[in-house]
Amino acid sequence: MASGKMSADTARLPRIEMLLYFLGFCGPAFYSIYVVYVLSKEMEDTLFEDLELDQSSFLPFLGRKKDIADFEWVFWQTHLKEGLVFCFVGHIVVSRLMSMFLSKYRREAYLAYSFLCLYLVLGWKPLCVLLAHCMVFYAAALLRSALLCWGVGIFIVATLNSSLFKVLQYTLSGEDESTYYLLLFTAAMSILRQLSFSLEVCKLRRDQKAYSLFDFLLFNFYIPLFFNGPVITYNTFHEYIKHPILLDKTRLERVAWCACRVTIWAIITEAAYHLLYFCELEQQISILENLPLMEVTGIGYLHVQFFHVKYMVLYGFSSTIAMLDGIEPPMFPRCVSALYTFTAMWRYFDNGLHTFLVRYIYIPLGGSHKGIVRQLLASAACFGMVCYWHGGQYYLIAWGLLNWTGIVVESTGAIIAKTATVQHYTSQLSPQNQRRLKALCNAPILAFLILFNLVFLGGTSAGYVYFDKFFISGFPFVTVKLLASIKDMASTEEAEAEAGAKAPKKNVSYPLRILYCGECTLPVEYCEYMPNNDKCKAWLEKNLPSEFGKLYLSEKPPEGGDTGDTDKKGRQKRGGRGNIKIKKKAEPQGVTIARVQRNKKKYVTRIRGLATYDIDLEQARKFFANRFACGASRTDEDEIVIQGDVTDDIFDVIPEKWPEIDEDNIDDLGDQKR
């Protein structure tokens, strides 16, 4: 970051202090993993005999049996070996052949191949069940009633969890348990896509033609994202399927990197299930509650970490294939060790699901623009939807309530932190001490964030064991040690975030960018060679005055040459314009977002402050227009106006596109007058 006023997030702490934070977190973490490894090795025979751990090892050189308590990992691994991998490989072949020879019929080939794969993998009866779901949703969508679409979605989710319908679905699956669970999982994922499509149709004006049934089926049955996600909304899919990203060298390199990354983490995960029996140990409550604190800590830490790694592998595998088709899927789940707030966890762990919840529940119910009560109700509705969609069991309801409470506490703390009184006292602290204070305040939040997610992973019984070990029987010494270690974790995570915002190298401006002239459409450095140079200069002076000054006003006249008559004040040269005062480049301060009402029903989203981060506003305008499929224009030197209310989406889009802009530096100004 360029020199200027130092913020608490980027304030540099002494290296020795950062080293102590790093060791304070990593030391106990690695030691807890080691003690779980020793415990797993000691209990291998006992667990294998009593709990029937898998005897067939995929990594025989490790000489260890495999923990199969993680049903999801074993389920998808088994189905990949039994045929799904050939579906994905076949899709890649079909996609490449159609793109090279019959690109006009590429979408038709996708759908035909999808039906063929599902017929071979599931059978015709389960496929008919999925098609019936689509027909009901499409009929509801044509009526343009969002309430009806949600009613259909709630009913179909209920059928997946109903005992009566479970028997019917099991029968339609040929009474094969593996096929039944595959139908159950794919139907649950399909409901999110079907809801997305239906609600996008409901957003269309009455005079606009609805999307076709073919579009719906293509979106729902698109093979790379069909079985296990990640979730992608229809508006995003529709844009990429119509205008896919070119598969050039840069794109291929990125696909190759993602494939290598997924493969490496898949091997690490498989090895972990052979060496560390944290899943099985956590499910045995009688064993877990009698273990020493360090073993319990290691089991919980490993479960949270490998839950993230598992979904990075599952989502990454599907996303890498979709990228070959020119589709940009949601970003990979971010490491849970880099997320120390409830808001960040929900926003970045499953970005696709977060986008779905914000777009179809949070914003329609009011979001952040209808007061604090509506905002809390909208957040509660999002958690309620997630709990119900996952099955609605008691432990899921408890997990949802706990996470919603965490969001409420965080939001309240953020409001208090912005009050004049708190700002007055914190301003008396140095940036370094502000950063330390922030890490200290985040430590309890992170502790409960980990604990609440362990309720989701292990159930309420395991969650109570963790709570008892850390906060009841271990109080106060264990609790203080835990919070101190987590404080070190928060400090270390802020250091990792700081690495992406360090100052650029000397004499180099990052990100590298090219400015184009709106008159000749060439880079501005080439304008002087164009025949209509005067028009280029006029456009440049009006739209990019700083570049105009660099290219034309900083040139010195040749020595001894005739410069024409000049008045004593030097304000006007003959045949030229007056000297223009070049504005000093602003230091990065922050990005502001506001919703501006144009008429009774129409809003636009105004963004300011991107230019202070050395971002090309013209490219940013085009990016927003493509991302939101709407109009976007530059109305000022540092202002972009997007047609429609996309304020809530912007908070995810800007940090994702420009990592140098931290989400804490994005300020929502709310509703503003025109």
Please give the backbone phi and psi of residue 523, each rounded to the nearest 5 degrees, phi first.
-55, 145
| Interstrand relation of 639-643 and 666-672 (parallel, antiparallel or unpaired) | unpaired
Q: Which of 308, 354, 390, 424 is catalytic?
A: 390
Tokens 């070119």 belong to 246
Contacts of 579 (CB under 8 A, 6+ apart): 553, 570, 571
Are 310 and 73 a contacting pair, CB within 8 Å? yes
Enumerate residues 6+ apart whose C-beta is below 8 A from 176: none
Quick one: how many helices (H) and strands (E) in the chain?
27, 5
Q: What angle do CA 317, 320, 323 make, to 5 degrees?
A: 150
Strand partners, 607: 593, 640
Query: Nearest CA to 310 among 366, 353, 272?
Result: 272
Burial degree of 220 (CB within 10 A; 0-12, 13-18, 19+): buried
605 SS3 class? strand
* Residues 54, 58, 60, 61, CA torsion sign: negative
What is the three-class DSSP state of 592?
Answer: strand
Q: Is 243 a catalytic residue?
A: no
Beta-bridge mates of residue 591: 666
CA 28 to chain CA centroid, Å, is: 29
Region label for 644, one of left (φ > 0), alpha (ψ between -120 and 50) or beta (otherwise): left
Pairwise CA distance, residues 503 & 35, whole Å: 41
Residue labelled with tokens 């304070």: 24
Tokens of 147: 């309430």
Residues 343, 344, 346, CA angle at the centre, nearest 5°?
A: 70
Q: Is the separation of the CB atoms in 234 and 134 below 8 Å?
A: no
Tokens 């963790």 sit on residue: 466
- Burial class from Cβ neighbours inside 10 Å (0-12, 13-18, 19+) for residue 394 reads exposed
Q: Is the bond preceding residue 476 a cis peptide, omega within 30 degrees?
A: yes
Residue 462 CA to residue 472 CA, distance in Å, equals 15
Residue whose C-alpha is closest to residue 210's, from 226, 199, 195: 199
So which residues are the catalytic ones?
390
